[in-house]
Structure 1
Amino acid sequence: MPVTPSIPGPPNAAQQQLHEAYARLHRYGPEFGGDEEGNHGLTNHGPMAVEVLLRRGLDVDVDCWLDRYVRRLAELPRGTRPITEGTWGHALGDHHRLPDWTLWFADQLRDRPWAELLAEWWPRLLPGIVAGSTHGVIRVGHAVRALRATGPSGTAGPALRELAHGLAFWAARYRPLPGQRRPAGHLSAADALDAVPRLATQDGFIAHRVGRLATTPGWPHSLRAIRPARTVDVPARLAELVDAATRSYLVRGHGSPVLLVHTATAPNAVLHTLPVLPEPLWVPSFDAAWAAAAAITATYAPTRRAPRPDVTPAPAGDDPVTEVLHRAADHGDEHVIKFTDTAVEAYERAHDPDLLAAALRAGELITG
């Protein structure tokens, strides 16, 4: 199975296919199956999953994959009233304004360079990084990868609209974390994740769980416990966090197989956005990525580790990366595809087989 190099790169047939997939998916909203009180149900992972499938060159018929996937999606509602420079603050975190946010960002991206707009809105949205179970920042991260791959001579229209959809989802579901603190400790990412306190009762929608962190003993202290990052160290520190969260999934993923993949994929989205962000935003980006991973750990991860499962990335002599990507493609689940992409990147940095084993574990745990 061919595996194409990671972006950036020149425009090619795969990118054209990705843009066509984006155009098809943009008829739909970022969520489906929610309730009238605004509790979101499931997230539309279509744009993120097809970006991985096509960037990796996986042997999947993307059109057929989408044919099956879009059946579950809900169409994007019509806008109600325009967002303006003077009113956007009132619309932040209002899920009813999602279509208005989508139109706002699409209009903005027609008139301004996308990296300039992103640099303006990134610090505004960072405090609400857990928005939509972190799918806001993750979708933005995948859109940025697609835009970087397009290059100056490519047709970026569909990818720009994808960035607009990602930013709109993040803005509409914006919800600041309670008890936020700047890192000021000495722990590594792995030790800091282990030290995060857990909710006494892990039930309810994620918004309800996150709200209960305000009264969870030790929560603010756990955010401070990780070693702070300097600007020059942020890429390496984010990579360390992604690697630690991926390893943790291997022995804790059973607690919530779907939600816990985001402890790794959300920081990875931030990591891949860094190259287009001004350096003064790097340290706040690390702090927010850490807070997101800690919040999902606190609200969904079990306290006790499970025994390491007996999963083998590949038979002796075979390429383990190709094998793990092949299994994710065959599995077909959007969470498995995205987590495997992140786990493979982590393995290519650290060459730790447990990182690939975590991707295989996700394939075992996520069954439908």
Structure 2
Amino acid sequence: MTAALDCPQPHVRNWHADRALSQAAGSALKTRPDYRHHDVALEHLDALSPVLTNGYYNHAPMVVEALSAMGQGREALAWLDREQDSFTPVDARTGPIDPDDWRELIAARGRYADWRAYFQDALETQPWREVAAIWVNRLTFGFSSSAAHGVLQTAHAVRALQSDATPARLRALANALAGWASRHSSLPIKDQPNQGVLDFQAALSRIQPLSDKHAPGEGAITAGYAQLVHAPGFAEQVSLVDLSGDLDARFDALMAVMAKLFLSLARTPYTVIVFTHAVTGTAAARTLSQIVPDAVGRQLLFRAFEHGAALKTAFAPLALQSAPPRKALPPGDPARRAGRHGDDHMIKLTEAVLDAYRRTHNPVFLDVIAQAFAVLPEPDAR
């Protein structure tokens, strides 16, 4: 009888998996921005409302910038052509925005065109970084407005401007800030003073999902936020997070935690979309933190964590009704594949995690890409 070996067996390597991961990693590191087509795409968007025909937020300004950031800018015009039936025009202006009364006028849904004109005027007379920094500071407490799309659109506009401050990109920033201001809202919770004692993962692990009785089903993400009134300990729990340390490093740490949240709960096409916002919202906050004072950057860091925690609280019950997806491998060229896939969330998610992977080389971001492609089918396969 052969004696049992008392030493560990060698790991049997999966060469196919190793090769797929290596190709995806290499492609991620080689991805370079290409903004040659960006301003032309923005011209097609300049007169559009932030609201689509179905009532949801218009992702087009974010998508075209994400494609450019991934070197896929040539795909933007074709993407816009496919989506044009969902766009709506800007409403007529109703009157000027009084800069002394801005607190009274944010969240005024019918004033988008007025806010747009206000920011266009401001950007003609002031440096764009100054305008953006002032208004990011003023609007950050409404980080989760329209499922964080105000933050997202502003961050995409800011990043394009960091490449080149063209007139089309300045107008895109005006549109983004107008969308954020006109649809501004905060989570239905009362803020607690930050206590700063737990790292992101430990703090997030203390966040309890809603009971099944109060958990939302599939629908608008903002409907899930509304249910936070049934999570009385939420504000106290998020206040425990530690915001100290190097800000860029803290954002990278939060990105990794939100990537793990995605891997845990993005199990169906709908929950892929929901938890994409935890990742992309954090990426957007990181971008905006680079143009504001440190104290405002830490507020962005806190709000990004709070936003991801809110998504967990509201939508974990729905996500956990489905089994975890099978382990998958990322495509060899994620940026190109995302452009071909065409889903707006897939494009924005892929760009955000590719950017994070280039900075950190953390394979968790490649896992996010793999799971998103495995769970969210391409349009012709749906």
Common fold: TM-score over 0.5? yes
Which residue type is aligned with residue 328 of structure 1? Answer: A
Range 134-143 or range 101-110, more displaced: 101-110
Task: Measure the CA separation in 2 of the matches of 1:326 and 1:17.
Answer: 16
Which residue is equivalent to 1:157? 167
Quick check: 1:182–1:287 contact (8 Å CA) kept in 2? no
Which residue is equivalent to 1:253? 266
Which residue type is aligned with residue 311 of structure 1? Answer: A
Give how far 1:16 is off: 4.2
CA gap of 1:79–1:16, structure 2 versus 1, over 3 A, is farther
Which residue is equivalent to 2:24? none
Task: Measure the CA separation in 1 of the matches of 2:40 and 2:73.
Answer: 18
Give how far 1:333 is off: 0.9
Which residue is equivalent to 1:214? 229
Quick check: 2:123–2:131 contact (8 Å CA) kept in 1? yes
Give 2:256's match in structure 1, choosing from 237, 243, 249: 243
Which residue is equivalent to 1:131? 145
Which residue is equivalent to 2:184? 174
Q: Does 2:327 align with 1:310?
A: yes
Task: Measure the CA separation in 2 of the matches of 1:208 and 1:56.
Answer: 32
Quick check: 1:31–1:73 contact (8 Å CA) kept in 2? yes
CA gap of 1:185–1:88, structure 2 versus 1, over 3 A, is closer
Q: TM-score under structure 2 normalisation?
A: 0.83
Match runs of 1:1-368 below 5 Å: 4-5=31-32, 14-34=34-54, 41-58=55-72, 61-150=75-164, 156-177=166-187, 178-200=189-211, 201-203=215-217, 205-226=220-241, 228-230=242-244, 232-254=245-267, 256-302=271-317, 304=320, 306-307=323-324, 309-313=326-330, 320=332, 323-367=333-377
Higher CA-based Rg: 2
Quick check: 1:32–1:74 contact (8 Å CA) kept in 2? yes
Task: Measure the CA separation in 2 of the matches of 1:195 and 1:350.
Answer: 26
Same amino acid, percent of matched pairs: 28
Give how far 1:332 is off: 1.2
Give how far 1:190 is off: 2.6
SS in 2 for 1:180: coil
Structure 2 gaps of 5+ residues are 1-26
Quick check: 2:328–2:374 contact (8 Å CA) kept in 1? no
Quick check: 1:102–1:168 contact (8 Å CA) kept in 2? yes
Give how far 1:308 is off: 5.7
Q: Deviations over 1:149-180 (max 9, x none)?
A: 11xxxx51111111111111111111122122
Which residue is equivalent to 1:37? none
Quick check: 1:313–1:353 contact (8 Å CA) kept in 2? no
CA gap of 1:254–1:4, structure 2 versus 1, over 3 A, is closer
Range 293-302 or range 62-71, more displaced: 293-302
Task: Measure the CA separation in 2 of the matches of 1:81 and 1:113.
Answer: 25
Task: Measure the CA separation in 1 of the matches of 2:376 and 2:204.
Answer: 22
Task: Measure the CA separation in 2 of the matches of 1:199 and 1:97.
Answer: 34
SS in 1 for 2:246: helix
Give how far 1:181 is off: 2.7
Task: Measure the CA separation in 2 of the matches of 1:42 and 1:360.
Answer: 27
Q: Deviations over 1:57-87 (max 9, x none)?
A: 1285322221112221111111112111133
Task: Measure the CA separation in 2 of the matches of 1:49 and 1:240.
Answer: 25
SS in 2 for 1:361: helix
Q: Deviations over 1:2-51 (max 9, x none)?
A: 95435xxxxxxx434201111111121112135xxxxxx32211111111
Q: Deviations over 1:287-331 (max 9, x none)?
A: 1221222222222234749546321125xxxxx5xx222321221
Give how far 1:202 is off: 1.5
Aligned residues: 342
SS in 1 for 2:287: helix
Give how far 1:182 is off: 4.0
Task: Measure the CA separation in 2 of the matches of 1:16 and 1:354.
Answer: 31
Structure 1 gaps of 5+ residues are 7-13, 35-40, 315-319
Task: Measure the CA separation in 1 of the matches of 2:221 and 2:31.
Answer: 35
Task: Measure the CA separation in 1 of the matches of 2:132 and 2:42.
Answer: 19
Which residue is equivalent to 2:7? none
